[in-house]
Amino acid sequence: MVEVARRMSDIKRQREALEARIATLTRLEEFADYEELDWHSVAIRLENLKDEFARLENTSDVLQQLNHQLKSINQSLATLETNLDQLKGFRATNEEQQRQCNKVREQNLAILTHVNEGINITDMSDIAVNLEHLRLQVSQNMVLNVDNSDEQEQSLRTHLQARIDSEDQKLKRLRDKILLAMQNFKTEFKLETAEFDANIEASFEYENLLKQLSHDDLPRFETRFKDMLTINTINEIANFNAQLGREKETIKDRITHINTSLTQIDYNPGRYIVLESQISHDADIRDFQAELRACTDGSLTGSEETQYSESKFLQVKRIIDKFRGREGLSEQDKRWTVKVTDVRNWFFFAASERWRADDKEHEHYADSGGKSGGQKEKLAYTILAASLAYQFGLEWGATRSRSFRFVVIDEAFGRGSDESAQYGLKLFAQLNLQLLIVTPLQKIHIIEPYVANVGFVHNEGGKASMLRNLSITEYREQKAILSHQ
């Protein structure tokens, strides 16, 4: 088997060699004459001609000279052709540069025309001189030409943009300072600048105010302003402080009168109640009182310099501003004003239960904490009865049938105990008060012994209320009839 394969391989190679030879012989058909294939004869002839040319050249001086001239002319021609090619390249480059320069020139002319129309410049010579001077500074005296024009333009543009950015930053900082000054001015002088805006566009309002102030020549009125501050403002503060002082003394007097009434009431067998007032130590009230004193210190007995000073004016202004309500703190200042100007808040009140026999204290009530509901109500009714006696100027136990002592008590005794309600009604009866008591029906049996008339209010369907008035006698008769039905 191996031998067969070997023989087949040899036959295949022989066949391929024969086919190649056949192909070569086939191509010989393309040549009709042997001379076409006889390159060797042609090469011998060429070599002979070369040898003959060399012999002729060596033996003829004219021919040698002509050959040298021809060679020189060929070299010159080659150089000229090279130079011509270079000049053609230069010309093409110059033409392209000229085209680009014309394009840039047209763009620059368009820009100049637009700038001239925008700012109405009739003479550009000064601008050109300034730009050239600036360009020389930026480019360090570099000569301007077509090749470096873009680079120098970019350098000059970068330089100018940096200067513009720097000036913009300066303008921004200046703007911020102006806006801050406007806002501070508005905060300090709210009344005068209530209609002003804190922006650059509203600067004319501040300028007009400045012109008005300059026209008014306020320094000429400084002496009068001092007098007005001393005579009016500080005196008004002093009067206000004195009024608060009088209210304070009035409260003390009222406590004394109420205590006179309380001594007539038996709070418990053998004991009575005395109200005690102590100065409040609240920080807001204490600081307010100190500020009022600081405003008036030296205003009546001091020198003119003491009476009037910038600091004293600012002391008064701080108080007035808080009374008026500062921006952003109006609700807080309102609560503060109500608190510090209500003289009742200047005191801390307590009650002392004492023995009549020796006036020694049995118990002290700083507040009602820890007491039962009935004890709290009893203490409240006792103080209320004494306050009413003082308010109407009643003498304890005196009967004045024609005096007006009308008191309305709404939702009376609705949540209290029966004992405390009876205690309060007995106190009111001792004072001979004329009472109008509004109370739920469940407390009517407590109030009945102390009233002369009863009014029933009925609202059927929630649309209209109806009132029925009965004397206490009629009420009891109606009550008895209903109880037997």
Give the mean pLDDT of 216-236: 70
Q: Model confidence at 230, in pLDDT bands (50, 70, 90)?
A: low
Q: CB neighbours of 204 closer than 8 A, spacing ≥ 6? A: none
Angle at 209 between CA 207 and CA 211, to 5 degrees: 70
Q: CA Rg, the chain, in Å?
A: 61
User: How is the chain split into domains, by residue range?
Assistant: 1-30, 38-122, 123-198
Give the mean pLDDT of 247-268: 82
437 neighbors 409 (Cβ within 8 angstroms): yes
Per-residue exposure over 214-250, b if at least 16 CB sit within 10 Å of its own CB, e if not: eeeeeeeeeeeebeebbeebbeebeeebeebeeebee
Give the model confidence (pLDDT) of 41-79 as tens digits: 878 888 888 887 777 767 767 777 777 888 889 898 899
- Residue 367 pLDDT > 70: no
* Structure token digits, residue 11: 């036959």
Of 130-134, 203-207, 230-234, 480-484, the least confident:
230-234
160 neighbors 127 (Cβ within 8 angstroms): no
How far is 333 from 339, CA to CA, in rounded Å? 10
Residue 449 half-sphere exposure toward CB, CA atoms < 13 A: 10
* Structure token digits, residue 479: 């009550």
Give the model confidence (pLDDT) of 395-408 as tens digits: 655 555 456 678 88
Q: Model confidence at 217, in pLDDT bands (50, 70, 90)?
A: confident
Give the model confidence (pLDDT) of 90-109 as tens digits: 898 888 888 888 887 888 77
Q: What integer best gives the mean pLDDT of the chain?
A: 79
How far is 48 from 41, CA to CA, in rounded Å? 11
Q: Model confidence at 169, in pLDDT bands (50, 70, 90)?
A: very high
pLDDT at 303: 47
* Structure token digits, residue 278: 């102590």
pLDDT at 449: 83
- Residue 300 pLDDT > 50: no
- Residue 365 pLDDT > 60: yes
Q: DSSP 3-state assignment of 268? A: strand
Q: Model confidence at 414, in pLDDT bands (50, 70, 90)?
A: low
DSSP state of 122: S
Q: Model confidence at 381, in pLDDT bands (50, 70, 90)?
A: confident
Residue that the structure tokens 């009125």 belong to? 221
C-alpha 123 chain-centroid distance = 49
pLDDT at 324: 85
Q: DSSP 3-state assignment of 380? A: helix
Give the mean pLDDT of 121-126: 62
- Residue 190 pLDDT > 70: yes
- More confident position, 226 or 434: 434
DSSP state of 234: I
249 neighbors 334 (Cβ within 8 angstroms): no
Greatest Cα-to-Cα distance within the chain, rounded to the nearest angstrom: 182
Give the mean pLDDT of 155-162: 83
pLDDT at 307: 46
Of 126-140, 177-191, 328-342, the least confident:
126-140
382 neighbors 396 (Cβ within 8 angstroms): no
Q: What is the pTM of this model?
A: 0.46
Q: CB neighbours of 264 closer than 8 A, spacing ≥ 6? A: 272, 396, 397
Q: DSSP 3-state assignment of 410? A: coil
Q: Model confidence at 36, in pLDDT bands (50, 70, 90)?
A: low
How far is 347 from 343, CA to CA, in rounded Å? 8
Residue that the structure tokens 């060929």 belong to? 74
